Amino acid sequence: MTSPVLVLLSGFLCHVAIAGQTCPQPDDVPFSTVTPLKTSYDPGEQIVYFCKPGYLSQGGMRRLTCPFTGIWPLNTLKCTPRVCPFAGILDNGAVRYTTFEYPNTISFACNSGYYLNGTNSAQCTEEGKWSPELPVCAPITCPPPPVPKFATLRIYKPSARNNSLYRDRAVFKCLPHHAMFGNDTIACTAHGNWTELPECREVKCPFPSRPENGFVNYPAKQVLLYKDKATYGCHDTYNLDGPEEVECTKLGNWSAQPSCKASCKLSVKKATVLYQGERVKLQERFKNGMLHGDKVSFFCKNKEKKCSYTEEAQCVDGTIEIPKCFKEHSSLAFWKTDAWDIMPC
């Protein structure tokens, strides 16, 4: 009853069972190692899979025996990376990460005004812990500011107990007669120190000299200092070129050096002129002469076109040049028209 095929087949199987087939090098399981690792194994030989450090077994066979068939059984072992504690949030800062698994590294940065107390990156270790420990973002503070010599604090308020926070400001003022060099305002920097301090220096000015045809008044003191003032005046018929009051500047000189300038006597008896945009009678408006700096415009006649135009004249320290084109209207020639009376060109 036995078929010849069956006989053949059983004969083959007997041969395999007796001699056995060798197993090849076993398949790689991700993140695992095999011991012993060889290129071939005899039937009955055992191998063990271990998850590599930092990886955990998620079930499946770990220990396999090479069967007589020479074919390793299907390995269901799974090794997965350890996961470190969640670290995706950093107060007053930010975390850069892809995952929190071994062996990844995450990095940290703080918002402005905060500094990293700790390292700027951490790695998830084989043990599933962050190394080094996670940092914190701590507020940047500056100690109370130093006060420069000859200065006082005008504005300062500690905002973090006795310290100041990043970008806080303090403002200095110099003692009287001392001038500020540099910025009066300092700020708490990201380095936890203050920006450069200003300097206060005593500044002296020379005694102002009396102007010709005038006088100057100043405080009766041994020395004149920053912000001291002097006032100028002129004698009769002279007037001041410059401000009445000057001040000792931080550069050690006076803000201006006024002088006294003579007024102008008028050689013209009768003329209508433009003065500050208005027509005025020269002899009436400037009865007492013109002051230094005064400007008027005389009317002249264009004979060809029978029209009038103006030319300017200014009193400069006692002298005024009457425009050549201006012809004083003679009182005898009363029938002639004055230049200012005719059409402008």
Ligand X SMILES: *[C@@H]1O[C@H](CO)[C@@H](O)[C@H](O)[C@H]1NC(C)=O
Residues that bind ligand X (CB under 6 A): 117, 138, 161-162, 183, 185, 187, 191, 193, 195-196, 251, 253, 255-256
Going by their DSSP bridges, the two strands 164-165 and 141-142 should be labelled as antiparallel
Rounded to a whole number of angstroms, the minimum distance from the CB of residue 254 to ligand X is 6
- Of 36 and 146, the one with the shorter C-beta distance to ligand X is 146
Query: Judged by CB, which is closer to ligand X: 57, or 92?
Result: 92
Q: How far is the CB of 197 from ligand X (least distance, A)?
A: 8
Nearer to ligand X, 47 or 179 (CB): 179
Rg (CA), the chain: 52
Minimum CB separation of residue 195 from ligand X in Å reads: 5
Q: How far is CA 289 from CA 59, 60, 264, 268, 281, in A?
A: 116, 119, 5, 11, 13
Q: Sign of the C-alpha dihedral, residues 54, 59, 65, 67?
A: negative
Distance CA 139, CA 145 (A): 17
| Cis peptide preceding 146, ω within 30 of 0 | no
Pick 162 or 330: Cβ nearer ligand X = 162
C-beta of 92 vs 255, nearer to ligand X? 255
CB-CB neighbours of 315 under 10 Å: 24
* Shortest separation between residue 249's beta carbon and ligand X, angstroms: 6
Indicate the residue among 251 and 345 with the shorter CB distance to ligand X.
251
Closer residue to ligand X, CB minimum distance, 105 or 193: 193
Burial code (b: 16+ CB inside 10 Å, e: under 16) for 77-113 equals bbbebbebeeeeebeebebebeebbbeeebebebeee
Shortest CB 140 distance to ligand X, Å:
10
Closest distance between ligand X and the C-beta of residue 248, in Å?
A: 11
Q: What is the nearest approach in angstroms of ligand X to the Cβ of residue 291? A: 23
H or E, element range at 17: helix 4-19
Query: And the tokens for 98?
Result: 């892809």
Distance set, CA 230 to CA 122, 225, 234, 262, 344 (Å): 69, 11, 14, 22, 48
Which of 119-138 are b and which e, b meaning 16 or more Cβ less than 10 Å from the residue's Cβ?
A: eeebebeeebebeeebbbbe
Task: Using the minimum distance from each CB to ligand X, give the nearer residue, 132 or 176.
Answer: 132
d(CA 245, CA 122): 69
Q: How far is the CB of 105 from ligand X (least distance, A)?
A: 20
